[in-house]
Amino acid sequence: MVAAASVVVAVGTATGMMSALDDGRVGDEARSRITGSPRPEQPPVLPSSSPPAAGASASAPPTAKPTARPAPAPTPTAKERQAASAADRLYRHPDSQVLDWVRAHPGDPRVAVIESRIAGQPAAVWFADFTPGTIASRVRAVTAGAAAQGRVPVVVPYAVPDRDCGGASEGGAPDLAAYDDWIDAFAEGLGSGEVVVVLEPDSIAQSDCLSDGGRAARFASLARAGRVLKTANPRARVYYDAGHSGWHPAARQAALLRQAGAASAASSDGVFSNVSNFRTTAAETAYDRQVLDALGGPAGLGAVIDTSRNGNGAPADDEWCDPAGRRIGRRPTLSTGEARIDAYLWVKLPGESDGCKGAPGTFSPSYAYELASS
């Protein structure tokens, strides 16, 4: 994958991400490749959710004050209740590498941080292995599980031919005809409830490796995919690849998106950005709005942003492979409060390696702890 992007997923069925196989669980190969790391001798101190007030002294003793009755908490307004409800509606798939690690290491002093700040958050479920015979049932297992809880799943079809231009995440369907059939089967599993589809990360932004004819054929297949998915489930929201704010200029990315059907209400609900990358939410918000403005199409088109690892933004040298000093970003929510930004999502699960702190897509507890406690 080019330096502008970030390794999305490991090869084959060991996707590394939350990835549903035949029984809805992560593949055994992925499990066996969870990377170990030295355990700290003392339990970590959980960082506070906010810094102390300016001028406050950590060592100064508190001033004695009379005990006072706490003021009653204000009653949430209807708008606040609606926002909280929207934030809580995303689905957390009950099986992933991070949950496997938490269950297997109850005595590890990092568990409290990793469990509460990563494993406890809803994240996308990836379908990255080309298994046409079982894809419908695997998708259905996820969407049915979400529907039973009244929640909204995020699913990622990731099987377009020549994905990642032969990089670490290479793989996918053998050709576009097979991919079209795979998408048809994928759509059968969407059910009738709300579902967010993050359609083929990097498939548009990283299409320069294709010939002109190959790019046109891929874009036609992606446009078809959006139509098939939305026809199968009119409540599905399908988003197309906008790369990220440090990659292509907004106008160029919009032109590519338009060729892939992202400006058509029949196939698209908008764009996604920052998948597996580190750009700040503010930068992505501005960029996505520029892309949408240049894209045209219905006024209702919006954007979703991967905030899983962007808490400190991108490193100064634009390193994309498990760079040090990063942290988790905003929690996933369907209520951002930002115009044209439909959701903040965790598409790349924090702690799953880009390929430097472990094999691509495998879970590294040391990396997860670093992200969660920075």
pLDDT in tens, the chain (374 residues): 444 554 454 433 333 345 554 443 333 222 233 334 333 333 333 322 222 222 232 222 233 333 333 334 344 455 444 444 555 799 999 989 999 999 999 999 999 999 999 999 999 999 999 999 999 999 999 999 999 999 999 999 999 999 988 777 888 999 999 999 999 999 999 999 999 999 999 999 999 999 999 999 999 999 999 999 999 999 999 999 999 999 999 999 999 999 999 999 999 999 999 999 999 999 999 999 999 999 999 999 999 999 999 999 999 999 999 999 999 999 999 999 999 999 999 999 999 999 999 988 899 999 999 999 98
354 belongs to the catalytic site: yes
Q: Which position among 202, 241, 322, 342 bears the catalytic label?
A: 202
pTM value?
0.82
What's the Cα-to-Cα distance from 12 to each of 54, 313, 353, rounded to whole Å?
51, 30, 15
Secondary structure percentages of the chain, helix, strand, coil, to 5: 30, 10, 60
Q: What angle do CA 292, 192, 177 make, to 5 degrees?
A: 70
What's the Cα-to-Cα distance from 175 to each of 128, 159, 185, rounded to whole Å?
15, 10, 16
Q: What are phi and psi of 197, to 5 degrees?
A: -115, 115
Whats the size of the chain, residue-wise?
374
Q: Which position among 129, 164, 269, 306 bears the catalytic label?
A: 164
Is residue 341 within 8 Å of 305, Cβ to Cβ?
A: yes
Residues 362 and 359: their CA atoms lie apart, in Å, by 6
Characterise 127 by phi-psi region: left (phi > 0), alpha (psi -120 to 50), beta (else): beta
Is residue 122 within 8 Å of 90, Cβ to Cβ?
A: yes
Lookup: tokens for 57: 């002294």
293 belongs to the catalytic site: no
Q: Which position among 162, 288, 322, 354 bears the catalytic label?
A: 354
202 belongs to the catalytic site: yes
